[in-house]
Amino acid sequence: MSEHKRAWLLPVVAVLVLLLMVAFMAGYFNDKIEPGLDAPAAVDSAGAVPARLEEAPLTEPVPASVEAKETTVISSRLLARITDISVRAGDYVEQGQLLLQLEQSDLLARAQQAREQIRSVEARLTEARQNLERAEELHKRGLIAVADRDAARANAAALEAELASARQALEEAESAVGYAEIHSPIAGRIVDRFAEPGDTASPGQKLLSLYNPFSLRIEARVREHLALSLQAGQALDVEVPAVENSFTATVEEIVPAADPGSRSFLVRAILPSNRMLLPGMYARLHVPAGTRTRLLVPADRVARVGQLDIVWVAQEGGAVRRFVRLGKPAGEDEIEVIAGLEPGELVMPLP
């Protein structure tokens, strides 16, 4: 081959190879797919369940507090030094159990003094009665004047009155001795103690406080529109966030006078006995406030992905994944959907 032919043949071959490579990369040697849309695949909606609407009771949460219906403050009736306190805050006590002792040496001395006074008066009264018998006998025989007989009668009567007074003084002294031992008036739990042994207790001074843990109740201020629909004996749901639990309370009473400032009524409801509940705890009383419409779907058709809730909805183009916002469970098998679904849409089983 001449040098002239070789000079123009090599560029032509290079161009042809380049064109073939471009054609291959562009897919000219592959089968072509005609333009257009495939028919959507059919969706088997035999197991789909429509989202349904339901009328449900509506409640309004009202701030409330747990209170003790039966509560007692222990105080002294005497001015005396405290010698012993046998309980502390949190202890459970029985009715009649000894809680606190006061110094009683001076009280015992007064009681003994009253007993000795009675013995003295009884001895004098015995002598006066004997003198009265002799005076009566002598007066019958005409040996003494009427005035002497009457003086003997008066002396015996005065001593009888003095004996009665001495006996009352003894009862008072013995009662004072009893006041030196303070017993629990109810069965309950000690809330707090405000004195220690060695302190001087004064009449009326607060020493201990206790409550009956089986008499707890809810107290709440309910706005007048809702309070007027409540009745004694009605059952209401109560939520206590501190113990992460809910209870059923029974309305005990509704104070028949509204607070002028808040236009609300004080409602008291009895709580069931529970050791987790303590006076002063915050609670929410759920008061009926009519009805509302809610959208429900089966709970087993909702998937949890991270922090998102997902359902699969049957549509003409196939099953579509849908993000939803859930509310509270409705029974054991259903759950409320707040947003993301419309009534009647078909919810598919989870894939």
Tell me, yes or no, whether 109 and 222 share the same domain. no
Give the span between the Cα atoms of 190 and 109, in whole angstroms.
Answer: 33
Tell me, yes or no, whether 94 and 194 share the same domain. yes
Contact predicate 86/184, CB 8 Å = no
Tell me, yes or no, whether 173 and 283 share the same domain. no
Element containing residue 194 per DSSP (H, E): none
Does residue 205 lie within any of the structural domains?
yes
Give the span between the Cα atoms of 183 and 96, in whole angstroms.
Answer: 5
How does pLDDT run across 248-264, given as a tens digit for each residue?
Answer: 999 999 999 888 888 89
Scored b (16 or more CB within 10 A) or e, 150-173 reads eebeebbeebeebbeebbebbeeb
Greater confidence, 298 or 34?
A: 298
Give the span between the Cα atoms of 210 and 306, in whole angstroms.
Answer: 49
Tell me, yes or no, whether 267 and 164 share the same domain. no
pLDDT at 33: 60
How does pLDDT run across 39-49, given as a tens digit for each residue?
Answer: 555 556 667 88
Contact predicate 311/346, CB 8 Å = no
Does residue 41 lie within any of the structural domains?
no
- pLDDT tops 80 at residue 1: no
| Global confidence as pTM | 0.60
- pLDDT tops 70 at residue 314: yes
Give the span between the Cα atoms of 351 and 345, in whole angstroms.
Answer: 18
Tell me, yes or no, whether 220 and 256 share the same domain. yes
Give the span between the Cα atoms of 9 and 37, in whole angstroms.
Answer: 47
Give the span between the Cα atoms of 176 and 168, in whole angstroms.
Answer: 12
Tell me, yes or no, whether 158 and 130 share the same domain. yes
Give every CB contact of residue 89 below 8 A, 6+ residues apart in sequence: 190, 191, 192, 193
Alpha carbon separation from 195 to 88, 138, 186, 279, 315 (Å, rounded): 11, 67, 20, 22, 75
Does residue 42 lie within any of the structural domains?
no
Does residue 30 lie within any of the structural domains?
no
**Residue span of the structural domain in which 87 resides:** 73-98+183-212
List the CATH number of the domain containing 116: 1.10.287
pLDDT band, residue 269 (cuts 50/70/90): very high
pLDDT-above-70 percentage for the chain: 91
Tell me, yes or no, whether 168 and 298 share the same domain. no
List the CATH number of the domain containing 322: 2.40.420.20
Q: From 212, 231, 254, give the residue that closes a domain.
A: 212
Total of domains in the chain: 4
Does residue 5 lie within any of the structural domains?
no
Tell me, yes or no, whether 329 and 232 share the same domain. no
Contact predicate 305/321, CB 8 Å = no
Tell me, yes or no, whether 307 and 329 share the same domain. yes
Contact predicate 55/291, CB 8 Å = yes
Phi, psi (degrees; rounded to nearest 5) at 42: -70, 140
- pLDDT tops 90 at residue 284: yes
List the CATH number of the domain containing 277: 2.40.30.170
Average pLDDT over residues 95-121: 88
| Helices 105-140, 146-179: crossing angle, 10 deg rounding | 160
How does pLDDT run across 205-240, given as a tens digit for each residue?
Answer: 899 999 988 889 999 999 988 888 888 999 999 999
pLDDT band, residue 266 (cuts 50/70/90): very high
Tell me, yes or no, whether 255 and 200 share the same domain. no
**SS3 category, 35:** coil
Tell me, yes or no, whether 203 and 162 share the same domain. no
Phi, psi (degrees; rounded to nearest 5) at 58: -105, 130
Tell me, yes or no, whether 199 and 317 share the same domain. no
How does pLDDT run across 147-198, given as a tens digit for each residue?
Answer: 888 888 898 889 889 889 888 988 888 888 888 889 999 898 998 999 999 9
Give the span between the Cα atoms of 136 and 133, in whole angstroms.
Answer: 5
CA angle at 32 for the pair 29 and 36, rounded to the nearest 5°: 165
For residue 48, how far is the Cα from the chain centroid? 44
